[in-house]
Amino acid sequence: MLDRAQYLQDHTALVTASSRNLGASIAAALAGAGADVVVTYHESPEAADALIGSLPAGDHAAVPGDTSSADGIRAMVNAAVAAVSRPIDIVINNSGPFAMDPFVDLDPSEWDRIWTANVKAAFLTSKMLVPAMDGWGRIVNVSAGSAFLRNHSIYTLAKDAMITFTEALAVEVAPEINVNCVAPGQIAESADDIAEFDASFVERSIDATPLGRLVTRGEVAGIVAELCGPRFDAVTGVTIPIDGGWRLRTF
């Protein structure tokens, strides 16, 4: 009988943008559940190699992952497929740079950068890997709490699109493949990053969160891993907000 702790044994996962931050935590959670993991990096091969070295034994690999163009996305997926011995049957579309310049000030090149690395990367990665998921597959898209805001500009648009993409793809690839989405609120370990854009965002977020604190990378990663496991076999096409209740508004 398979050890519950190893519920992803004999599966291989690709986690995009995973050499550090949330992506690295997701990669570690999947590997901890028994999966072989392909980590991707853009500018930090050393961080990716260090992460691979910290994972439990397995057929893990690190490959370049430039999600800023269609060609870069295709090259990333092809490199990931070549790096492991089994077909990739778990895809975590985690790539998602942030921007919040108002639309009236937004440079079209910035629109393209955010949209491509978030939405087009999820689309092309899934499109390329679904055909090899022979009878079983899991795709988890990473949205964000910003999907429910209306002042984060192109990032809001891209993360909202991830939710709709999840629902549509879940219908297309059922019943063999489950497609779900997570929408983390502000993550505690990334508080300094958002403060560069909005100095009081973290304080306001905590004040507006019933849980009274920010969520952690580990909490998000654990839910992502569980979505790939047997306990969620009957769940597809949903988005799980992981935000301590932040999205709940009172009047």
Mind listing the pLDDT tens digit for each residue in 86-127? 999 999 999 999 999 999 999 999 999 999 999 999 999 999
Residue 150: inside a domain, yes or no? yes
Residue 108: φ, ψ to 5°: -55, -30
pLDDT digits (tens, 9 = 90+) for 176-232: 999 999 999 999 999 999 999 999 999 999 999 999 999 999 999 999 999 999 999
Cα separation, 41 vs 242, whole angstroms: 25
Per the CB < 8 A criterion, the answer to whether 13 and 234 are in contact is no
Residue 249: inside a domain: no
pTM of the model: 0.96
Q: What is the pLDDT of residue 105?
A: 98
Whether the Cβ atoms of residue 25 and residue 218 lie closer than 8 Å to each other: yes
pLDDT of residue 14: 99
Q: Is residue 147 part of a domain?
A: yes
User: Does residue 248 fall inside a structural domain?
Assistant: no
Asked if residue 139 is part of any domain, the answer here is yes
Range of the domain at 85: 4-242
Residue 16: is its pLDDT beyond 60? yes
Q: How many domains, in total, are found in the chain?
A: 1
pLDDT at 1: 41
Residue 5: per-residue pLDDT: 83
Is residue 251 in a domain?
A: no
CA distance 101 to 99: 6
Q: Is the pLDDT of residue 3 over 70?
A: no
Coil, helix or strand for 141?
Answer: strand
Angle between helices 108-115 and 153-173 (to 10 degrees): 30
Mean pLDDT, residues 120-148 taken together: 97
Taking 50 as the threshold, does the pLDDT of residue 156 lie above it? yes
* Structural contact between residues 146 and 198, judged by C-beta atoms closer than 8 angstroms: no
CATH number of the domain enclosing 185: 3.40.50.720
247 in any annotated domain: no
Check whether the bond before 97 is cis (ω within 30° of 0). Answer: no
Whether 111 is in a domain gets the answer yes
8-23 average pLDDT score: 98
Span 47-74, pLDDT tens digits: 999 999 999 999 999 999 999 999 999 9
Banded model confidence at residue 2, pLDDT cuts 50, 70, 90: very low
Work out the average pLDDT over 227-244. Answer: 98
